[in-house]
Structure 1
Amino acid sequence: NLLGLAQQDLDEGKSQIAHGETVRETANMISFCADVIGIRDDMYLGAGNAYMREVGDALDDGFQQGVLPQRPALINLQCDIDHP
């Protein structure tokens, strides 16, 4: 694309999430390969925004504890509360 970014879709059924990997583990592993994480989770009321906040907290913790060399930006593509 014109921004020089590459898109990678996360298929939960084909990832370690299906085998019990936590949101914290997944968010930190993705962060090693990404500068920006976009989340679109609007299927269930009360779940999408909470999930996005959980990912954000995991990224903050990973960066503060020195696990991540940088904290990637987290973008709300759409959730159950907001559609930017």
Structure 2
Amino acid sequence: MAEHEAINGVPVTEEQIEAWANEAEAGYDVATLKKRGRGRPGRGSEPSQVVALRLTADEMAALDARAAREGKSRSEVLREALSVA
């Protein structure tokens, strides 16, 4: 193995590779792997959609100011604004 092999800046050792190989050869518990979850957590029973929104610099500043003032994300502020409508 080359000396420069690394994951997130941490060198990968021969011992680590051996441990990974042993783990793979022993097999994986599929139920445990499925519990890990991937991506962002859901917001409900149906999949969410990502929507692009164009805002002016002033609108972005107002959105960011409100989000900071209320301790929320931009998305939370926008979703709340839509739920009032």
| TM score, norm. by length of structure 1 | 0.23
Higher strand share: 1
| TM score, norm. by length of structure 2 | 0.23
For the pair shown, which has the larger CA radius of gyration, 1 or 2?
A: 2
Higher helix share: 2
